[in-house]
Every structure is written in structure tokens, then in C-alpha cells.
Structure 1
Amino acid sequence: MTAAKTAPKKTAVPAGAKKPADRQTAKDDVAPEVRVFNWRGTDYEVDTDRIDDLEFIEKLEQNLFASALTMMLGQEQYVTFKEQVKEAEGRVSMLTTKTFLEEYMEFAGRGN
């Protein structure tokens, strides 16, 4: 003999509850996070989603550091960065640029 099947109890939905949206990922509800990265005394506002952007990663892999920095910082902050690190001879060291990128990636990855 089998037990009679009963329908699951329906619970009342609270008034004003948000209705689920089909095909919506968790990331759809999250606004981009802009964080302040202070590097050598200068604040840079950077969207931390940039390090999760395939085009940004491709630029880094292709050693297109200037393009990657411009994409990450925006044109205005990119100019600020170059002015900040420009050496007496007027050049911007690739080593300094690489250090900036590495330190930012560490900063953005640790969730501060």
C-alpha cells in the first residue's frame, strides 16, 4: 500500500517581495565597484571589474601595457600616472609601470 501524496504547502509571499527575473545572473544585480588605489601618494579610482575583463587580460598578455593602463584608469588618470612616474629625463620606466600594475592587481584581488 502506498501513502497518499500531498501537495507541498504554499507559503505566502510577503507584500513588496521582489519577483525573480528569468535569465538574470547574480552579477546583474551588482554595480561595478570603484575603489581608490593609493600608489605612492596619488589616489586612482579604478573599477575593480577591469581585472576580470578579457580584453584587459589580453592586452596584458600581449605586453600592451599602455593600452591596458588606459583601459583600467581612463585617459585622464592615465595622464596623471605618467606625470607621477616620469623620470628627470622625461621617460616613463617600464619597470615602474609593471610595478604599478602588479601592485594594483594585488590590491584589487584581495578585496579591500
Structure 2
Amino acid sequence: MLNAYMLHDGEPVDGAVLVFAPSFGEAKKIGYRTVRSWTDCEYIDIKGRRIWNDAWLKQHAADQKKLAAGEPHVIDNPPTCKGCELWHDELEDSGYCESCAEEREEAA
């Protein structure tokens, strides 16, 4: 079973990659090249965390063929919120995360 992981080399808001892998170690191995291509960091600089509520990301961001086959893979441009431009959370049909959607409603 593949889990979703967010990998980065500093602060995730400065750039992070989504990796589907069975473990953090495997995610770091396959995600390193992508992160390094952005920042020229070293392998030991890669940080990350598992995204526990990953059902939405699996449905909307993962390569469905690779996910079904259990093949680890990197997504370097997952769907992002139109407001905050982050991808760690589920997006509503409007294209905004819950926080940004609430802010838009309050402002209207």
C-alpha cells in the first residue's frame, strides 16, 4: 500500500514534492532527485512527513495506474488551492481549500 508523503529541503511553503511510496525512506529515495533539481540540496537535507488523510490526494493527484499497481512515484505539480497555492489539503469544487473558501465567503 502506498502512502502520501510531502518532501522538501527547508520550508514546505517554499516548494515541496508529493510522493506516493510504502515508507518514508522509499519516498525520500525517489523524491530526492526532484527536490534537488529545484534547489541543488544534498540528500541529508531532505525533510518530510507522511500525509495521513491522503484519500483526496490519491484520487486527484496520484498517477492512477501506478497507484493501482503499487508503484512508488513522484508528483511534482499536484493540484493547488487557487487562494493559498498549497496542496496539502483537499480542494473544494471551486478550487479552493476549506480555509480559503471560508475567507472568500466572509469577504463576500
User: Does TM, scored on the shorter chain, surpass 0.5?
Assistant: no
Identify the structure with the greater helix proportion: 1
Q: TM-score, normalised to structure 1's length?
A: 0.28
Greater RCO, 1 or 2 (C-alpha within 8 Å, sep 6+) = 2
Q: TM-score, normalised to structure 2's length?
A: 0.29
